[in-house]
Structure 1
Amino acid sequence: MPVSSIKAILGFEALLFAAASLVHAGILFGGYEHSRAATAEGVIAAVLVLGLLACIGVPGRTRLIALVVQAFALLGTLVGAFTITVGIGPQTAADKTFHIILLVILVVGLVVIFRSGRVGHGAS
């Protein structure tokens, strides 16, 4: 898989988490405010952005970096899904649906990048 495709996956995921954080902060939409969710999603977005920047800076390690930051995002999303399940986190249908979508996107991204094999310095 080209480095550019991996960077695109990380960028897309970072945008999703940033949007979720802004929604939970009450900035994009009202009615879904949840400060802990906003913070967690903001941290995950930041980690994905840092991973993307690291991929740009060290293209020979793009695959490894992407796998690590996506695994972090998946773990954080699983924690969020668990909090929803036990009644601590946001309980709206939109939150539940969005977490399912995030989990699917992260798992697919991890699988695709893992199966892509090693990305070399010359990949674009």
Structure 2
Amino acid sequence: MNSWAKPLLIFEVTLFAAASLVHSGVLLGGYYAHTRAAAAEGLIAAVLVCGIFACLLQPEWTRSVALVVQSFALFATLVGAFTIAIGIGPQTTADRVFHLLLLLVLISGFVAAFRWNSR
């Protein structure tokens, strides 16, 4: 696995898992509870974890796997940002800022994977 890929994917898993725990009410005492967001974030975290395992099992697939799992996470995060924008997703400032952070991290990771050459 490339030196940047594992820490980046682990960081992304951590972000989505934490968001899922917040939205499920486990963290912060249910203040930001939103079960649909929790389910989506948990699914995204699970897909990213599968990507980490795939990269560990087949290091030569790292670039492709990183592109695929981050594309999925980016698309799902854009859907979440859209639901916030139209008023059916979580409406807190924290959610807006967190989605912006997620988008920045995912876009950066996607660009890094896209530009990476495994020579």
Name the SS for the 1:3 alignment partner. coil
Which structure 2 residues correspond to residues 51-90 of structure 1 after superposition, within 5 A? 51-90=51-90
Q: Between the two proteins, what is the percent identity of the paired residues?
A: 59
Q: Structure 1 unaligned runs (5+)?
A: none
Alignment-derived partner of residue 25 in structure 1: 24
More helix by share: 2
Name the SS for the 1:4 alignment partner. coil
RMSD of equivalent CA atoms: 1.0
Whole-Å separation in 2 of the counterparts to 1:43 and 1:91: 21
CA offset at residue 24 of structure 1? Answer: 0.2
Which structure 2 residues correspond to residues 1-124 of structure 1 after superposition, within 5 A? 3-30=2-29, 31-117=31-117, 119=118
Whole-Å separation in 2 of the counterparts to 1:20 and 1:4: 26
CA offset at residue 5 of structure 1? Answer: 1.6
Whole-Å separation in 1 of the counterparts to 2:116 and 2:70: 15
Higher relative contact order (CA 8 A, sep 6+): 1
CA offset at residue 112 of structure 1? Answer: 1.2
CA offset at residue 8 of structure 1? Answer: 1.1
Letter paired with 2:12: E
Runs of 4+ in 1 over 3 A off after TM superposition: none
CA offset at residue 4 of structure 1? Answer: 2.9
Q: What is the aligned residue count?
A: 118
Whole-Å separation in 2 of the counterparts to 1:97 and 1:72: 20
Whole-Å separation in 2 of the counterparts to 1:95 and 1:76: 15
